[in-house]
Structure 1
Amino acid sequence: MSEFSLLMSVYSGDDAAHFRRAFLSAVHEQTRRPSQVVLVQDGPVPDELALEISRRIAESPVETTFHVFERNTGLASALSTGLGLARFDVVARMDADDISLPERFERQLPEIEAGADLVGTGMLEFLDDIGSIVGRRVPPSGQERIASYARFHDPFSHPTVVYRRAAVEAAGGYQPMGLMEDYWLFARMIQSGATVANLTEPLVMYRVGAGAYARRGGFAQLRSELALQRAFRRIGFTTPMQYLRNVAVRGAYRFVPVGVRKIAYRRFIARGGSAG
Protein backbone atom coordinates (compact mmCIF):
# COMPACT_ATOMS: atom_id res chain seq x y z
CA MET A 1 0.00 0.00 0.00
CA SER A 2 1.15 3.53 -0.80
CA GLU A 3 2.47 5.71 1.97
CA PHE A 4 1.27 9.29 1.81
CA SER A 5 1.72 12.72 3.32
CA LEU A 6 -1.04 14.91 4.75
CA LEU A 7 -0.67 18.61 3.86
CA MET A 8 -2.27 21.28 6.06
CA SER A 9 -1.83 25.04 6.25
CA VAL A 10 -2.84 27.30 9.16
CA TYR A 11 -2.93 31.08 9.46
CA SER A 12 -4.03 33.76 11.90
CA GLY A 13 -7.69 33.51 10.93
CA ASP A 14 -8.01 29.86 11.95
CA ASP A 15 -9.68 28.86 15.22
CA ALA A 16 -7.65 26.77 17.67
CA ALA A 17 -10.52 24.42 18.57
CA HIS A 18 -11.44 23.93 14.91
CA PHE A 19 -7.81 23.19 14.03
CA ARG A 20 -7.59 20.62 16.83
CA ARG A 21 -10.70 18.82 15.57
CA ALA A 22 -9.46 18.89 11.98
CA PHE A 23 -6.06 17.47 12.90
CA LEU A 24 -7.46 14.70 15.07
CA SER A 25 -9.96 13.67 12.41
CA ALA A 26 -7.35 13.50 9.63
CA VAL A 27 -4.61 11.79 11.64
CA HIS A 28 -5.63 10.07 14.89
CA GLU A 29 -9.09 8.90 13.82
CA GLN A 30 -8.36 7.61 10.31
CA THR A 31 -8.62 3.89 9.57
CA ARG A 32 -5.71 4.45 7.18
CA ARG A 33 -3.38 7.04 8.65
CA PRO A 34 -0.93 9.22 6.74
CA SER A 35 2.75 8.38 7.19
CA GLN A 36 3.70 12.04 7.49
CA VAL A 37 1.95 15.30 8.32
CA VAL A 38 3.27 18.48 6.72
CA LEU A 39 1.98 21.51 8.60
CA VAL A 40 2.71 25.00 7.29
CA GLN A 41 2.05 28.04 9.48
CA ASP A 42 1.48 30.96 7.14
CA GLY A 43 2.59 33.93 9.23
CA PRO A 44 2.12 34.81 12.92
CA VAL A 45 -0.87 33.26 14.71
CA PRO A 46 -2.63 34.05 18.02
CA ASP A 47 -1.18 32.50 21.18
CA GLU A 48 -4.08 30.08 21.61
CA LEU A 49 -3.63 28.68 18.11
CA ALA A 50 0.16 28.55 18.49
CA LEU A 51 -0.26 26.51 21.69
CA GLU A 52 -2.67 24.12 19.99
CA ILE A 53 -0.28 23.66 17.07
CA SER A 54 2.49 22.76 19.52
CA ARG A 55 0.23 20.24 21.23
CA ARG A 56 -0.81 18.58 18.00
CA ILE A 57 2.80 18.24 16.87
CA ALA A 58 3.88 16.82 20.23
CA GLU A 59 1.02 14.32 20.36
CA SER A 60 0.97 13.32 16.70
CA PRO A 61 1.17 9.54 16.22
CA VAL A 62 3.03 10.03 12.93
CA GLU A 63 6.03 12.07 11.78
CA THR A 64 5.10 15.75 11.61
CA THR A 65 7.11 18.29 9.60
CA PHE A 66 6.45 21.88 10.65
CA HIS A 67 7.36 25.01 8.67
CA VAL A 68 6.71 28.61 9.75
CA PHE A 69 6.61 31.70 7.54
CA GLU A 70 7.49 34.89 9.36
CA ARG A 71 4.76 36.73 7.47
CA ASN A 72 1.61 35.67 5.64
CA THR A 73 2.48 34.66 2.08
CA GLY A 74 -0.86 33.33 0.83
CA LEU A 75 -2.26 29.86 0.34
CA ALA A 76 -0.52 29.10 -2.96
CA SER A 77 2.90 29.83 -1.48
CA ALA A 78 2.18 27.93 1.74
CA LEU A 79 1.00 24.82 -0.11
CA SER A 80 3.88 24.96 -2.59
CA THR A 81 6.31 24.99 0.31
CA GLY A 82 4.43 22.16 1.98
CA LEU A 83 4.55 20.02 -1.15
CA GLY A 84 8.30 20.48 -1.22
CA LEU A 85 8.50 19.11 2.33
CA ALA A 86 6.35 16.04 1.62
CA ARG A 87 8.35 12.80 1.70
CA PHE A 88 5.88 10.89 -0.44
CA ASP A 89 4.53 11.36 -3.96
CA VAL A 90 0.94 10.83 -2.77
CA VAL A 91 -0.34 13.84 -0.84
CA ALA A 92 -3.72 14.41 0.85
CA ARG A 93 -5.07 17.90 1.49
CA MET A 94 -6.88 18.98 4.62
CA ASP A 95 -8.11 22.40 5.73
CA ALA A 96 -7.68 23.60 9.31
CA ASP A 97 -11.38 23.88 10.13
CA ASP A 98 -13.01 20.88 8.43
CA ILE A 99 -13.46 17.28 9.56
CA SER A 100 -12.41 14.13 7.70
CA LEU A 101 -14.62 11.11 8.25
CA PRO A 102 -12.71 8.05 9.57
CA GLU A 103 -12.71 6.07 6.30
CA ARG A 104 -11.78 8.98 4.05
CA PHE A 105 -8.24 7.89 3.16
CA GLU A 106 -9.11 4.20 3.18
CA ARG A 107 -11.66 4.98 0.45
CA GLN A 108 -9.52 7.41 -1.59
CA LEU A 109 -6.11 5.73 -1.63
CA PRO A 110 -7.21 2.65 -3.64
CA GLU A 111 -8.25 5.02 -6.44
CA ILE A 112 -4.77 6.54 -6.46
CA GLU A 113 -3.16 3.10 -6.31
CA ALA A 114 -5.29 2.05 -9.28
CA GLY A 115 -3.79 4.85 -11.38
CA ALA A 116 -5.63 8.09 -10.63
CA ASP A 117 -3.59 11.29 -10.24
CA LEU A 118 -6.27 13.26 -8.40
CA VAL A 119 -9.23 12.02 -6.35
CA GLY A 120 -11.83 14.16 -4.59
CA THR A 121 -14.95 13.30 -2.62
CA GLY A 122 -18.35 14.66 -1.74
CA MET A 123 -18.84 16.80 1.37
CA LEU A 124 -21.39 17.48 4.06
CA GLU A 125 -21.78 21.13 5.05
CA PHE A 126 -22.31 21.84 8.73
CA LEU A 127 -22.52 24.69 11.18
CA ASP A 128 -20.38 24.79 14.33
CA ASP A 129 -22.31 21.80 15.68
CA ILE A 130 -21.51 18.75 13.51
CA GLY A 131 -25.07 17.59 14.15
CA SER A 132 -26.33 20.62 12.22
CA ILE A 133 -25.98 19.40 8.63
CA VAL A 134 -27.15 22.19 6.30
CA GLY A 135 -26.21 20.81 2.89
CA ARG A 136 -24.41 18.24 0.80
CA ARG A 137 -22.02 18.73 -2.10
CA VAL A 138 -22.15 15.98 -4.72
CA PRO A 139 -19.26 16.32 -7.19
CA PRO A 140 -19.30 15.19 -10.82
CA SER A 141 -17.80 11.74 -11.35
CA GLY A 142 -16.02 10.06 -14.25
CA GLN A 143 -13.12 11.51 -16.26
CA GLU A 144 -15.22 12.89 -19.14
CA ARG A 145 -17.92 14.36 -16.92
CA ILE A 146 -15.36 16.00 -14.65
CA ALA A 147 -13.45 17.48 -17.59
CA SER A 148 -16.65 18.84 -19.13
CA TYR A 149 -17.93 20.27 -15.87
CA ALA A 150 -14.56 21.91 -15.17
CA ARG A 151 -15.07 24.28 -18.10
CA PHE A 152 -17.75 26.06 -16.06
CA HIS A 153 -17.09 25.26 -12.41
CA ASP A 154 -14.46 23.76 -10.12
CA PRO A 155 -15.13 19.98 -10.21
CA PHE A 156 -13.27 19.30 -6.96
CA SER A 157 -13.66 20.48 -3.39
CA HIS A 158 -10.09 21.36 -2.43
CA PRO A 159 -10.30 20.13 1.21
CA THR A 160 -11.20 16.65 -0.03
CA VAL A 161 -8.50 15.91 -2.58
CA VAL A 162 -5.67 13.39 -2.63
CA TYR A 163 -3.21 13.75 -5.52
CA ARG A 164 0.14 12.71 -6.87
CA ARG A 165 2.73 15.40 -6.35
CA ALA A 166 4.32 14.52 -9.69
CA ALA A 167 1.05 15.30 -11.49
CA VAL A 168 0.68 18.59 -9.59
CA GLU A 169 4.22 19.59 -10.49
CA ALA A 170 3.77 18.53 -14.14
CA ALA A 171 0.87 21.00 -14.34
CA GLY A 172 2.96 23.82 -12.85
CA GLY A 173 2.03 23.46 -9.18
CA TYR A 174 0.09 25.93 -7.09
CA GLN A 175 0.10 29.43 -8.57
CA PRO A 176 -1.47 32.63 -7.19
CA MET A 177 -4.94 33.24 -8.63
CA GLY A 178 -6.82 35.44 -6.21
CA LEU A 179 -9.08 33.16 -4.21
CA MET A 180 -9.14 30.44 -6.89
CA GLU A 181 -5.70 28.82 -6.74
CA ASP A 182 -7.21 25.36 -6.43
CA TYR A 183 -9.52 25.65 -9.46
CA TRP A 184 -6.63 26.99 -11.56
CA LEU A 185 -4.45 24.05 -10.52
CA PHE A 186 -7.11 21.43 -11.18
CA ALA A 187 -7.89 22.87 -14.62
CA ARG A 188 -4.23 22.72 -15.58
CA MET A 189 -3.97 19.15 -14.31
CA ILE A 190 -6.94 18.12 -16.46
CA GLN A 191 -5.50 20.03 -19.43
CA SER A 192 -2.15 18.27 -19.02
CA GLY A 193 -3.76 14.83 -19.14
CA ALA A 194 -3.99 13.88 -15.47
CA THR A 195 -6.31 11.00 -14.62
CA VAL A 196 -8.97 12.38 -12.30
CA ALA A 197 -11.83 10.94 -10.26
CA ASN A 198 -14.38 11.86 -7.62
CA LEU A 199 -16.06 9.70 -5.01
CA THR A 200 -19.55 11.10 -4.74
CA GLU A 201 -20.04 9.93 -1.16
CA PRO A 202 -19.36 12.59 1.50
CA LEU A 203 -16.07 11.84 3.24
CA VAL A 204 -15.33 15.34 4.52
CA MET A 205 -17.46 17.64 6.65
CA TYR A 206 -17.09 21.26 5.54
CA ARG A 207 -17.63 24.01 8.09
CA VAL A 208 -19.97 26.72 6.81
CA GLY A 209 -19.40 29.83 8.87
CA ALA A 210 -21.32 33.08 8.99
CA GLY A 211 -20.93 35.03 5.78
CA ALA A 212 -19.92 32.03 3.66
CA TYR A 213 -22.15 33.05 0.76
CA ALA A 214 -21.43 36.75 1.17
CA ARG A 215 -17.71 36.04 0.67
CA ARG A 216 -18.43 34.55 -2.74
CA GLY A 217 -19.51 37.97 -3.99
CA GLY A 218 -18.06 41.42 -4.45
CA PHE A 219 -15.43 43.16 -6.56
CA ALA A 220 -12.48 41.14 -5.21
CA GLN A 221 -14.17 37.91 -6.25
CA LEU A 222 -15.05 39.42 -9.63
CA ARG A 223 -11.44 40.42 -10.27
CA SER A 224 -10.30 36.89 -9.40
CA GLU A 225 -13.01 35.46 -11.62
CA LEU A 226 -12.02 37.54 -14.62
CA ALA A 227 -8.33 36.72 -14.13
CA LEU A 228 -9.16 33.01 -13.96
CA GLN A 229 -11.30 33.08 -17.09
CA ARG A 230 -8.58 34.91 -19.02
CA ALA A 231 -6.08 32.29 -17.86
CA PHE A 232 -8.37 29.50 -19.03
CA ARG A 233 -8.55 31.04 -22.50
CA ARG A 234 -4.79 31.59 -22.59
CA ILE A 235 -4.08 27.86 -22.13
CA GLY A 236 -6.98 26.78 -24.36
CA PHE A 237 -8.95 25.21 -21.53
CA THR A 238 -12.15 26.97 -22.63
CA THR A 239 -13.48 27.98 -26.03
CA PRO A 240 -14.32 31.62 -26.86
CA MET A 241 -18.02 30.89 -26.35
CA GLN A 242 -17.36 29.17 -23.01
CA TYR A 243 -15.28 32.17 -21.96
CA LEU A 244 -18.13 34.58 -22.73
CA ARG A 245 -20.65 32.35 -20.95
CA ASN A 246 -18.46 32.04 -17.88
CA VAL A 247 -17.77 35.77 -17.65
CA ALA A 248 -21.47 36.56 -18.02
CA VAL A 249 -22.89 33.89 -15.71
CA ARG A 250 -20.14 33.52 -13.13
CA GLY A 251 -19.50 37.27 -13.13
CA ALA A 252 -23.16 38.06 -12.52
CA TYR A 253 -23.23 35.48 -9.72
CA ARG A 254 -20.79 37.69 -7.78
CA PHE A 255 -23.33 40.54 -7.61
CA VAL A 256 -26.73 38.93 -7.08
CA PRO A 257 -28.21 39.27 -3.55
CA VAL A 258 -26.77 36.83 -1.03
CA GLY A 259 -30.08 34.97 -0.73
CA VAL A 260 -30.23 34.41 -4.49
CA ARG A 261 -26.57 33.36 -4.54
CA LYS A 262 -27.26 30.77 -1.85
CA ILE A 263 -30.22 29.31 -3.76
CA ALA A 264 -28.24 29.16 -7.01
CA TYR A 265 -25.33 27.48 -5.27
CA ARG A 266 -27.50 24.90 -3.57
CA ARG A 267 -29.49 24.09 -6.73
CA PHE A 268 -26.63 23.81 -9.17
CA ILE A 269 -23.08 23.89 -7.85
CA ALA A 270 -23.50 21.68 -4.78
CA ARG A 271 -25.15 18.99 -6.88
CA GLY A 272 -22.32 18.58 -9.37
CA GLY A 273 -24.11 20.48 -12.11
CA SER A 274 -27.52 18.86 -11.77
CA ALA A 275 -30.53 20.95 -10.87
CA GLY A 276 -32.60 17.90 -10.14
Structure 2
Amino acid sequence: MRNTPSTAGPTEEFSLLLPVYAGDNASFVRLAFESSVDQQTLRPAEAVIVQDGPVPEELERELARIETASPIPVKRVQLAQNVGLTEALNRGLDACAYAVVARMDADDVSVPDRFERQWALIDQGYDLVGTGMAEFESDPAVAAAVRIPPVGAVRIRDHARTHNPFNHPTMMYRVAALDRVGRYQPFGKMEDYWLGIRLIDSGARVENIPEPLLRYRVGAGAFARRGGWAEARTEWRLQGELRRMGFITRGEYLRNVVMKGAYRLLPARVKRVLFRGLVSGGLPGDRG
Protein backbone atom coordinates (compact mmCIF):
# COMPACT_ATOMS: atom_id res chain seq x y z
CA MET A 1 0.00 0.00 0.00
CA ARG A 2 1.44 3.36 -1.01
CA ASN A 3 1.36 6.38 1.23
CA THR A 4 1.89 9.90 -0.09
CA PRO A 5 2.45 12.42 2.70
CA SER A 6 1.68 16.03 1.80
CA THR A 7 5.17 17.21 2.76
CA ALA A 8 7.23 14.48 1.11
CA GLY A 9 7.46 12.36 -2.00
CA PRO A 10 5.84 8.93 -2.28
CA THR A 11 6.90 6.19 0.11
CA GLU A 12 6.63 2.43 -0.17
CA GLU A 13 6.50 -0.36 2.39
CA PHE A 14 10.18 -1.10 2.88
CA SER A 15 12.75 -0.19 5.52
CA LEU A 16 16.10 1.49 5.03
CA LEU A 17 18.84 -0.22 7.09
CA LEU A 18 21.83 2.01 7.81
CA PRO A 19 24.58 0.90 10.25
CA VAL A 20 26.97 3.48 11.72
CA TYR A 21 29.93 3.20 14.09
CA ALA A 22 32.55 5.39 15.74
CA GLY A 23 34.76 5.54 12.65
CA ASP A 24 32.09 7.11 10.43
CA ASN A 25 32.24 10.73 9.34
CA ALA A 26 29.19 12.80 10.38
CA SER A 27 29.01 14.73 7.09
CA PHE A 28 29.22 11.48 5.11
CA VAL A 29 26.39 10.01 7.20
CA ARG A 30 24.23 13.05 6.47
CA LEU A 31 24.89 12.72 2.72
CA ALA A 32 24.18 8.97 2.80
CA PHE A 33 20.89 9.47 4.63
CA GLU A 34 19.66 12.40 2.56
CA SER A 35 20.50 10.66 -0.72
CA SER A 36 18.59 7.57 0.43
CA VAL A 37 15.55 9.37 1.84
CA ASP A 38 15.12 13.06 1.03
CA GLN A 39 16.36 12.78 -2.57
CA GLN A 40 14.74 9.47 -3.57
CA THR A 41 11.94 9.34 -6.13
CA LEU A 42 10.53 6.48 -4.02
CA ARG A 43 11.25 6.74 -0.31
CA PRO A 44 11.39 4.01 2.31
CA ALA A 45 8.55 3.99 4.83
CA GLU A 46 11.05 4.07 7.71
CA ALA A 47 14.76 4.24 8.40
CA VAL A 48 16.50 1.99 10.93
CA ILE A 49 19.89 3.34 12.00
CA VAL A 50 21.99 0.87 13.96
CA GLN A 51 24.52 2.69 16.12
CA ASP A 52 27.17 0.03 16.60
CA GLY A 53 28.67 1.11 19.91
CA PRO A 54 29.51 4.57 21.29
CA VAL A 55 30.16 7.32 18.71
CA PRO A 56 31.96 10.69 18.86
CA GLU A 57 29.98 13.78 19.88
CA GLU A 58 29.84 15.20 16.34
CA LEU A 59 28.32 11.99 14.97
CA GLU A 60 25.93 11.77 17.91
CA ARG A 61 24.68 15.29 17.14
CA GLU A 62 24.20 14.39 13.48
CA LEU A 63 22.22 11.25 14.32
CA ALA A 64 20.01 13.26 16.68
CA ARG A 65 19.48 15.87 13.95
CA ILE A 66 18.52 13.16 11.44
CA GLU A 67 15.96 11.73 13.86
CA THR A 68 14.36 15.17 14.20
CA ALA A 69 14.59 16.39 10.60
CA SER A 70 13.80 13.20 8.69
CA PRO A 71 10.63 13.23 6.55
CA ILE A 72 10.07 9.56 7.48
CA PRO A 73 10.10 7.80 10.87
CA VAL A 74 13.58 6.95 12.16
CA LYS A 75 14.41 4.20 14.65
CA ARG A 76 17.86 4.33 16.21
CA VAL A 77 19.07 1.01 17.58
CA GLN A 78 21.84 1.91 20.03
CA LEU A 79 24.21 -0.93 20.91
CA ALA A 80 26.19 -0.56 24.12
CA GLN A 81 29.39 -1.78 22.48
CA ASN A 82 30.73 -2.33 18.99
CA VAL A 83 29.66 -5.79 17.83
CA GLY A 84 30.74 -5.62 14.19
CA LEU A 85 28.79 -5.38 10.93
CA THR A 86 27.32 -8.90 10.90
CA GLU A 87 25.63 -8.64 14.29
CA ALA A 88 24.72 -4.98 13.78
CA LEU A 89 22.85 -5.83 10.59
CA ASN A 90 21.00 -8.70 12.24
CA ARG A 91 20.01 -6.45 15.13
CA GLY A 92 18.83 -3.89 12.61
CA LEU A 93 16.76 -6.48 10.76
CA ASP A 94 15.04 -7.29 14.04
CA ALA A 95 13.99 -3.65 14.32
CA CYS A 96 12.70 -3.29 10.76
CA ALA A 97 8.90 -3.13 10.59
CA TYR A 98 8.60 -4.06 6.92
CA ALA A 99 9.07 -7.29 4.98
CA VAL A 100 11.51 -5.69 2.51
CA VAL A 101 14.74 -3.95 3.52
CA ALA A 102 17.16 -1.77 1.53
CA ARG A 103 20.81 -1.68 2.60
CA MET A 104 22.84 1.48 2.80
CA ASP A 105 26.34 2.20 4.10
CA ALA A 106 27.10 5.33 6.08
CA ASP A 107 29.56 6.84 3.61
CA ASP A 108 27.96 6.07 0.23
CA VAL A 109 25.49 7.98 -1.94
CA SER A 110 22.30 6.60 -3.50
CA VAL A 111 21.24 7.73 -6.99
CA PRO A 112 17.75 9.34 -6.82
CA ASP A 113 15.87 6.56 -8.64
CA ARG A 114 17.70 3.68 -6.96
CA PHE A 115 14.83 2.45 -4.79
CA GLU A 116 12.17 3.07 -7.40
CA ARG A 117 13.97 0.79 -9.83
CA GLN A 118 14.77 -1.89 -7.25
CA TRP A 119 11.24 -1.88 -5.86
CA ALA A 120 9.83 -2.48 -9.35
CA LEU A 121 11.65 -5.85 -9.39
CA ILE A 122 10.86 -6.69 -5.78
CA ASP A 123 7.23 -6.03 -6.68
CA GLN A 124 7.55 -8.68 -9.40
CA GLY A 125 8.47 -11.29 -6.79
CA TYR A 126 12.26 -11.15 -6.57
CA ASP A 127 13.83 -11.88 -3.19
CA LEU A 128 17.06 -9.94 -3.68
CA VAL A 129 17.86 -7.11 -6.08
CA GLY A 130 21.32 -5.56 -6.28
CA THR A 131 22.67 -2.88 -8.59
CA GLY A 132 25.88 -1.69 -10.14
CA MET A 133 27.86 0.96 -8.32
CA ALA A 134 30.36 3.67 -9.19
CA GLU A 135 33.46 3.99 -7.00
CA PHE A 136 34.62 7.48 -6.01
CA GLU A 137 37.41 8.76 -3.83
CA SER A 138 36.31 12.27 -2.76
CA ASP A 139 33.74 13.69 -5.19
CA PRO A 140 30.66 11.46 -5.69
CA ALA A 141 30.21 12.94 -9.17
CA VAL A 142 33.64 11.72 -10.31
CA ALA A 143 33.73 7.96 -10.81
CA ALA A 144 37.07 6.18 -10.51
CA ALA A 145 35.53 2.90 -11.69
CA VAL A 146 32.16 1.26 -12.21
CA ARG A 147 31.36 -2.20 -10.84
CA ILE A 148 28.86 -3.87 -13.17
CA PRO A 149 27.30 -7.01 -11.64
CA PRO A 150 26.07 -10.05 -13.60
CA VAL A 151 22.42 -10.02 -14.68
CA GLY A 152 20.04 -12.98 -14.83
CA ALA A 153 19.83 -16.04 -12.58
CA VAL A 154 22.17 -18.22 -14.67
CA ARG A 155 24.90 -15.62 -14.99
CA ILE A 156 24.62 -14.66 -11.33
CA ARG A 157 25.05 -18.28 -10.21
CA ASP A 158 27.97 -18.84 -12.58
CA HIS A 159 29.66 -15.64 -11.41
CA ALA A 160 29.14 -16.61 -7.76
CA ARG A 161 31.41 -19.64 -8.22
CA THR A 162 34.40 -17.32 -8.48
CA HIS A 163 33.35 -13.86 -7.28
CA ASN A 164 30.72 -12.15 -5.20
CA PRO A 165 27.85 -11.48 -7.67
CA PHE A 166 26.24 -8.75 -5.55
CA ASN A 167 27.44 -5.34 -4.43
CA HIS A 168 26.46 -5.53 -0.77
CA PRO A 169 25.70 -1.82 -0.13
CA THR A 170 23.20 -1.87 -3.02
CA MET A 171 21.06 -4.79 -1.84
CA MET A 172 17.30 -4.68 -1.41
CA TYR A 173 15.88 -7.95 -0.09
CA ARG A 174 12.98 -9.75 1.52
CA VAL A 175 13.65 -10.48 5.18
CA ALA A 176 11.82 -13.83 4.86
CA ALA A 177 14.39 -14.98 2.28
CA LEU A 178 17.21 -14.13 4.71
CA ASP A 179 15.40 -15.87 7.55
CA ARG A 180 15.26 -19.08 5.51
CA VAL A 181 19.07 -19.21 5.27
CA GLY A 182 19.93 -17.96 8.76
CA ARG A 183 20.42 -14.26 7.97
CA TYR A 184 23.94 -12.80 8.19
CA GLN A 185 26.55 -15.15 9.62
CA PRO A 186 30.11 -14.31 10.75
CA PHE A 187 32.56 -14.91 7.90
CA GLY A 188 35.38 -12.41 8.24
CA LYS A 189 34.80 -9.59 5.77
CA MET A 190 32.92 -11.93 3.45
CA GLU A 191 29.61 -12.15 5.32
CA ASP A 192 27.85 -10.61 2.30
CA TYR A 193 29.34 -13.10 -0.18
CA TRP A 194 28.39 -15.99 2.12
CA LEU A 195 24.85 -14.61 2.42
CA GLY A 196 24.51 -14.30 -1.35
CA ILE A 197 25.73 -17.85 -1.93
CA ARG A 198 23.24 -19.27 0.57
CA LEU A 199 20.38 -17.29 -0.95
CA ILE A 200 21.21 -18.51 -4.46
CA ASP A 201 21.60 -22.09 -3.25
CA SER A 202 18.24 -21.90 -1.45
CA GLY A 203 16.43 -21.13 -4.68
CA ALA A 204 15.75 -17.47 -3.89
CA ARG A 205 14.86 -15.31 -6.89
CA VAL A 206 17.79 -12.93 -7.36
CA GLU A 207 18.57 -10.21 -9.87
CA ASN A 208 20.89 -7.29 -10.48
CA ILE A 209 20.34 -3.95 -12.19
CA PRO A 210 23.60 -3.32 -14.06
CA GLU A 211 23.46 0.47 -13.94
CA PRO A 212 25.38 2.11 -11.06
CA LEU A 213 22.55 3.22 -8.76
CA LEU A 214 24.89 3.76 -5.83
CA ARG A 215 28.11 5.75 -5.51
CA TYR A 216 30.59 3.87 -3.34
CA ARG A 217 33.25 5.74 -1.39
CA VAL A 218 36.68 4.11 -1.65
CA GLY A 219 39.06 5.14 1.13
CA ALA A 220 42.83 5.21 0.88
CA GLY A 221 43.20 1.88 2.68
CA ALA A 222 40.40 -0.02 0.96
CA PHE A 223 42.59 -2.33 -1.09
CA ALA A 224 45.02 -2.97 1.77
CA ARG A 225 42.07 -4.16 3.88
CA ARG A 226 41.15 -6.68 1.17
CA GLY A 227 44.41 -8.55 1.68
CA GLY A 228 46.75 -10.20 4.13
CA TRP A 229 46.91 -13.66 5.68
CA ALA A 230 43.68 -13.25 7.64
CA GLU A 231 41.76 -12.47 4.45
CA ALA A 232 43.48 -15.31 2.61
CA ARG A 233 42.47 -17.77 5.34
CA THR A 234 38.88 -16.49 5.19
CA GLU A 235 38.95 -16.96 1.42
CA TRP A 236 40.17 -20.54 1.76
CA ARG A 237 37.53 -21.28 4.38
CA LEU A 238 34.82 -19.90 2.12
CA GLN A 239 35.99 -22.04 -0.78
CA GLY A 240 35.89 -25.08 1.50
CA GLU A 241 32.27 -24.31 2.39
CA LEU A 242 31.32 -23.85 -1.27
CA ARG A 243 32.91 -27.21 -2.09
CA ARG A 244 31.25 -28.92 0.89
CA MET A 245 27.78 -27.75 -0.14
CA GLY A 246 28.35 -28.74 -3.76
CA PHE A 247 28.20 -25.19 -5.08
CA ILE A 248 31.56 -25.60 -6.85
CA THR A 249 33.39 -28.62 -8.27
CA ARG A 250 36.68 -29.98 -6.99
CA GLY A 251 38.47 -28.37 -9.94
CA GLU A 252 36.84 -25.01 -9.27
CA TYR A 253 37.77 -25.32 -5.61
CA LEU A 254 41.44 -25.94 -6.39
CA ARG A 255 41.55 -23.09 -8.90
CA ASN A 256 39.88 -20.66 -6.50
CA VAL A 257 42.10 -21.62 -3.56
CA VAL A 258 45.23 -20.91 -5.58
CA MET A 259 44.16 -17.85 -7.56
CA LYS A 260 42.01 -16.06 -5.00
CA GLY A 261 44.35 -16.90 -2.12
CA ALA A 262 47.27 -15.49 -4.09
CA TYR A 263 45.27 -12.35 -4.88
CA ARG A 264 44.69 -11.72 -1.18
CA LEU A 265 48.45 -11.78 -0.57
CA LEU A 266 49.42 -9.32 -3.31
CA PRO A 267 50.49 -5.73 -2.51
CA ALA A 268 47.58 -3.27 -2.30
CA ARG A 269 48.74 -1.39 -5.42
CA VAL A 270 48.65 -4.55 -7.52
CA LYS A 271 45.28 -5.63 -6.06
CA ARG A 272 43.81 -2.27 -7.02
CA VAL A 273 44.69 -2.82 -10.69
CA LEU A 274 43.57 -6.45 -10.73
CA PHE A 275 40.34 -5.83 -8.85
CA ARG A 276 39.25 -3.06 -11.15
CA GLY A 277 40.55 -4.51 -14.39
CA LEU A 278 40.14 -8.27 -13.99
CA VAL A 279 38.39 -9.46 -10.83
CA SER A 280 35.39 -7.21 -11.44
CA GLY A 281 35.18 -8.16 -15.07
CA GLY A 282 36.69 -5.16 -16.81
CA LEU A 283 35.34 -1.93 -15.46
CA PRO A 284 34.26 0.89 -17.79
CA GLY A 285 35.56 4.24 -16.69
CA ASP A 286 38.47 2.77 -14.72
CA ARG A 287 41.26 5.28 -14.30
CA GLY A 288 43.33 2.69 -12.42
TM-score calculated relative to the size of structure 2 = 0.92
Q: Deviations over 1:124-179 (max 9, x none)?
A: 11111223321111111010000110011100000001001001111110000001
2:107 matches 1:97: yes
Matched, 1:207 2:180: no
Name the structure 2 match of 1:184. Answer: 194
Quote how far apart the aligned CAs of 1:273 are.
9.4
RMSD: 1.5
The aligned counterpart of 1:263 is 273
CA distance in 1, matches of 2:64, 2:238: 37
Match of 2:74 in 1: 64
2: CA distance, partners of 1:168 / 1:16: 30
* Alpha carbons 1:16, 1:49 under 8 Å: kept: yes
**Residue 171 (structure 1) aligned to one of 178, 181, 197:** 181
| Match runs of 1:18-167 below 5 Å | 18-167=28-177
> Which of 194, 205, 215 does residue 195 from structure 1 map onto?
205
What SS does the aligned partner of 2:43 have? coil
Aligned residues: 274
Task: Name stretches of at least 5 consecutive residues in structure 2 with no aligned partner.
Answer: 2-11
Contact 2:109 2:140 in 1 (8 A): no
**Contact residue 146 and residue 283 of structure 2 kept, 8 A:** no
Tell me if structure 1 keeps the 8 A contact 2:52–2:78: yes
Q: Which runs of 4+ in 1 moved over 6 A?
A: none
Percent identity reads 52
Partner SS for 2:144: strand
Structure 1 position 226 matched with structure 2 position 236: yes
Structure 2 CA distance for aligned equivalents of residues 109 and 209 of structure 1: 30
Q: Which letter does structure 1 place at the counterpart of 2:143?
A: I
Unaligned runs of 5+ in 1: none
Q: How far apart, CA to CA, are the structure 1 residues paired with 2:239 and 2:224?
A: 21
3-state SS of paired residue (1:213): helix
Greater shift, 127-136 or 246-255, is seen at: 127-136
Q: Cα distance, 1:225 vs. partner?
A: 1.2
CA contact (8 A) 2:145 2:283 kept: no
What's the TM-score, normalizing by structure 1?
0.96
